[in-house]
Each structure stands twice: as structure tokens, then as C-alpha cells.
Chains A and B, each alone.
Chain A
Amino acid sequence: MDIARVSTETDAKGFESGQHGKSHRTRAPAMIVNKIKNLRPVFLTTVVIPTLLAALYFGLLASDVYISESRFIVRSPDKPAPTGFGVLLKGASLAGAGEEIYAAQDYVASRDALQALNKDGAFTRAYGTTAVSFFDRFNAGGFHPTFEDLYKYYEKKVSVAHDTTSSIVTLTVRAFTPRDAQHFNEQLLEMAEATVNKLNDRGRQDLIRFASREVDDAKAKSQAAALALSAYRNQAGVVDPEKQATVQIQMISKLQDELIATRTQLLELRAFAPQNPQVEVLVTRARGLSGEIDEQLGLVAGSQKSLSSRAAQYQRLALESQFADKQLASAMTSLEEARNEARRKQAYVERIVQPNLPDDALEPRRLRGIISTFILGIVAWGVISMLIAGVLEHKD
């Protein structure tokens, strides 16, 4: 046969020329042999061989794959709700659920997760046993596999899909036994939960730690201020200059009242009975009273040890102490708020669907694989033979 024939025959017979050959009506096996002999190489390589290989692989070689699926959401109370068009305009910015969900998702698809799964070789043992067919097995060649090889294999077996609208994460694990699939799924789910919890704890602790450090600082300050104030009181011998001064001034005014009364009495006596012996007494009393008034006035203001000169220093210390107290109170409030916030902000993984134990192998879809290989082969054959025909239309 020659390729030149392709052109004319493809033109004439179009797509269904796969079956033609010399239609000798002889015995069946001879006919089949004849037909195979007459198949063109292009048809053979694009349709027959791939379909045979697919039939061989899907029919005999491929191992059953069991799929275990679980679904969870990561709940965090204050999640911004994206609107449809806003998201469209926002382009590729990662709108939607909080970062916890991405953390959980990325952790599952990470090398760390694989490392944890493969502790004492559990993962390699499950996927590398001889029970699994040669083509699907991990490390089928029996070489020394690197961790990166394992990770590449792992990426094909485990998938995490995140639905942006509903925030549901679907975790799918493919394995060669139902128990393995469920086991690994459960383990991964637990690790995802642990990741979210870790993030949470960290955030909460940070929030509270900051607030309580603030409270400690304020406490120390307020204590120091109170101590300074009491030390000054002891040293200066005053409790509260303002109040003390009020008392003092009241006393002075009383003394002054008395002095005025005494002086009036003295004036009366001198006017009507200058010889009265009471005059001497009254004079002495008046002198005593005015001396006492001067002394008391000196205590309030003027002299070195007066209350007014101490008041300035005292005021400063008292103010400081008051301020420190106020600060402490506000720090306490914010600590309380932080605690509340932390309690409220807690994100947590909520399982919607537990990892299932598959009782039937959903993959590989054998018939589908064979048929799609066949159809693809036919289409490829059509394209290639038409291209060849197109080229062969050019002649010297």
C-alpha cells in the first residue's frame, strides 16, 4: 500500500475508512488477519494501538481506586461577605473566607502534612505495596525514591477544593484500599483542625498577652505613685495640705473672733472702770491670742514649713497617683475586652461530612477510559490523515 492512496481514498470515503480492506469472504480468522494487514500505519498508530493499550490497562492492569471524601468549613464569626460584582472587579484578590481556611487548605497540600502522614512509612507502605498494580504503584521501579517524588505522587492522590461561595472545603483522598482512604482522610482532617486551632491559640494569646502586659505596667506605675505619695506624707508630716489648711484657717478665724471679743471687752473696761484688775488679764489674753494667730498663720502660709509651700509638691504626687490609677483602670477594661474579643473571634473547624469508608471502587472508570481513548484516537486519525491528504495534494 502506498500513502499516496490516502489522499484519494480519504476524499472518497471520509471518516469510516477504518474498516476497509479487501473484503474477501473467507474464513473469519483469515479475514481478520487480512484486515489488520490492510490497515494503514496511521490508523494503526492512532487508533488500534492506543485502544488496545487502553483496553489492556483499564481491563487488566489498573488497580481499583477507592475514594474517601470529607467536607468541613472553617467558621470565623466576622467574615466579610463579598458581593458578586465586587468580586468580579476585585480581580484576583483572594476574597471570601478568612485566612484560616486557606491555612487549613494549604497545610493539607503541604510537605509537612505528607511528612506527618508518612510517619514510620505508613503512606509509602499503603501506596507502594505489590498489591497495587505496577502502573499505579508508588516507586514501581524499586529505585530509591526521594521525598519530592513522594510529594508529587501525594499531590495526585489528595485534593482539597475550596468552594468560595459556601466556604466549604472538600478533602478527597484516593487510595487502593477503602480503609487506607478513610484512614488518611481522617488523619489529614485532624491535622487541618490542629492547624486552625494553632493559629487561633496564637492569635488569642497574642491579643491577651499584649493587654495583660499593659495591665501589669499600669499596676506597677500606680503602685510606685502611691508609694511616693505616702513617703512624702511621712517625710513632710502632712496628710492633705488642702484640708489641713482649711482646718487651720477655721481655727485662726475662731481665734480672731475671740481676739476681737477680748479687745472689745478691754475697751469697755478701760472706758468705764480703768482700775479694774480685769484689765491686766484681758491685755495678757489679747496679746496671747494675737501671738497664737500669727503662729497659726505662719503654719498655713509664709514660713518655710508652711502648708502652702508643701502643697505644690504634694499636688504633683497626688496627681501622678490619680493618673496612674486611671490608667490601670482603663488597662483592666481593655484586658477584659481583649478576653471577650478572643472568645468571640475564635475560628474553628466544623466537620460537615465525616470521612467515609468507600465500599466500592469509583475509579478507574474502565469502560469510559477505553471508549474515550478510542474516540480520541479516531479523531486524531481523522485530523492526521486529512493533513497528510492535504499535503499530498501538492504535486510536481
Chain B
Amino acid sequence: MTSISQLATFGRSAAIQGRVIYALLMREVLTRYGRHNIGFLWLFVEPMLFTTGVTILWSLFKANHGSSLPIVAFALTGYSSVLLWRNMPNRCIGAIEPNLALMYHRNVRPIDIFAARLLLEAGGATISFITLCLFYIYIGWLEPPADVLTVVEGWLLIAWFGASLAMFLGALGEKTELVERFWHPVSYLMFPLSGAAFMVDALPSAAQKYILYVPMVNGVELIRKGYFGDQVRVHYDLTYLLGCCIVLTLLALSQVTAISREITPE
């Protein structure tokens, strides 16, 4: 039992993987955004524009919706979380194909490519969320969150869910391109169901029970709980969300392991 040497091996491998992911990340940033105009700043300017647009649209439509909840905060927390879980699968499906040439190197594995893209997407969505929050707070459209830690918790859980979903779909997408065809309509259909545009408490309780089976809803509710504090009555099932994340991660990792054996580098 030479556990120390095992740890050393593990540490060395982890370091290599870290370098690989970092390199892939940088490459991804450059190939995706280039160096012209604001370059990689598009990473979070893009989602920011999206969210701002949606926020303005919702503010106009629901200016007289009668709820006590500030509509800007409602739209921001809802739409940012949609961006978070929706963009990661978008980017991971078909991620292997353009990187096949890199697979020639032994240390570049499919999971690294996924990890790099996931980090990029999650980072972009997070930076855009934080920047928009700060900006809106600065111009007075928004109150600061009631409990930052709870917001972070909800955000991380949605990110975890999005990441495992993304890896799972990305790996499945290598086997059949049906995944790509189906994901787009499904992701749009999921948007109204994901809790971005409603509070669970406002639904009839018969519907509440079922809508909580959608994992994202639990995360969004958690974020809202953190953001609005006692202003809102939230419903979520943390155990269920965690269970979904863990099971999905297991499925994702097993699929990634499976495809990493089948891939033939060009």
C-alpha cells in the first residue's frame, strides 16, 4: 500500500489535466471570439445583452402586473439562470468534432474538451449575471440580494445540473446526431417550464407538485429565495435537485468514458 506514491501520481495527472484544460480554454476563447473588436469580452457581453433585452421586454409587458416583486430582479434572476443551464449543452453538443485533430495528443481527452467549454460558458454566464446585478444596483433598478450565499448555492447547483446535462448530451451527441436535432426544440420548450418566468408559489398547488419535478425550477427558486429573502414564498426540494445532479453526472461520466474509447483521432 503505497498511498503516498498513489497520491503523487494522481497529483501529477491532475496537474497535467489542469494544464490541458487551461490550454483548451485559451484556444476556445481565441477561436470563438478572436482578437478583433472587444475580443473575448463578448463572452459575457453577449449574455448581458440578451438578459438586458429580456429584462426590458418584461418590464414593458408586466409594468402593471400588480405583483409586489421588482420585475427587473425577477427577470434577471430568471433569465440568467436559463442562460446558465441552456448554453452549456448548446456548446457541448458537437464539441468533439472540431477538436478531433487535438485528440492525436494522448493527454487531450474528450472530458477535457467538455470541461474547457463548460468552464467558459459557466464563467461567461456568471460574469454577466454579476456584472448586470452590479450595474442595475448602481443605476438603482435593483436592490442588492438578501442573502448572497443562498444565491451562490442556487447558482452553483444550476451550474452543476447544466454541466452534467451538457456532458451527457455532448457525449450522446457523438453517437447520434438526433440529440442535436432534438435538443434545440426541447431547450426552447423547457424555457417556460424552467421557473424563469414564474414563481412556483403562484401556481395552483396541484401544479406546484409537478413543476418541482423539473430540476431547474428548484435551483431558480433557491436563487430567488436568496435574492428576495422574505419577500417571496419559495418552494424547492434540494434533495431532489441534488439527486438529479448526481445521477445525471454519473450518466454523463459513463457516456464520456464510453465515447473516449471509441474516438479515433484524425
Contacts and interface: CB of A to CB of B under 8 A. Distances in A.
Contacts of B1: 1
B246 A4 contact: no
Contacts of A389: 257
Interface in B211-266: 231-233, 243, 246-247, 249-250, 253-254, 256-257, 260-261
Given A3-B10, A92-B69, A383-B246, A394 B16 contact: yes
Q: Is the interface of B mostly helix, strand, loop or mixed?
A: helix
A383 B203 contact: no
A15 B67 CA distance: 50
A94 B2 CA distance: 62
Given A3-B10, A391-B13, A392-B13, A90 B256 contact: no
Given A87-B204, A88-B203, A394-B20, A14 B254 contact: yes
A373 to B, nearest CB: 12
Given A94-B233, A164-B204, A391-B14, A89 B253 contact: no
Given A88-B203, A165-B206, A379 B10 contact: no
Interface in A339-396: 376, 379-380, 382-383, 386-396
A107 to B, nearest CB: 16
Contact of A163 (B14, B68, B205, B249): B205
A166 B249 CA distance: 39
B106 interface: yes
A4 B203 contact: no
Interface in B26-74: 62, 65-69, 74
A221 B106 CA distance: 102
Contacts of A297: none
A11 B261 CA distance: 9
A279 interface: no
Interface residues of B, number: 47
B65 A90 contact: yes
B2 A90 contact: no
Interface stretch (B90-98, B134-142, B150-158, B194-202): B194-202
Contacts of A228: none
A390 B111 contact: yes
Nearest to A163: B205
A41 B10 CA distance: 14
B17 interface: yes
In this complex, the member of B3, B6, B199 whose beta carbon has the largest number of chain A beta carbons within 10 angstroms is B6
A87 B257 contact: no
A2 B5 contact: yes
Contacts of A15: 254
Nearest to A395: B13
Contacts of A164: 201, 204-205
Nearest to A102: B233
B131 interface: no
B253 A91 contact: no
Contacts of B203: 87-88
B10 A382 contact: no
A84 interface: yes
A382 B257 CA distance: 12
A93 B250 contact: no
Nearest to B6: A3
Interface centre among A15, A87, A383, A389 (most CB of B within 10 A): A383
A2 B13 contact: no
Contacts of B261: 11
Contacts of A376: 243, 246
A2 B2 contact: yes
A92 B202 contact: yes
B86 interface: no
A390 B21 CA distance: 13
Given A388-B10, A394-B107, A92 B257 contact: no
A95 interface: yes
B109 A390 contact: yes
Nearest to B201: A92
A390 B253 contact: yes
Given A95-B202, A393-B13, A395-B16, 11 more contacts: A2-B6, A3-B10, A88-B198, A88-B202, A92-B69, A92-B231, A379-B246, A390-B256, A391-B14, A394-B14, A395-B106
Interface of B: 1-3, 5-7, 9-10, 12-14, 16-17, 20, 62, 65-69, 74, 106-107, 109, 111, 198-199, 201-206, 231-233, 243, 246-247, 249-250, 253-254, 256-257, 260-261
Interface of A: 1-4, 10-11, 14-15, 41, 84, 87-95, 163-166, 376, 379-380, 382-383, 386-396
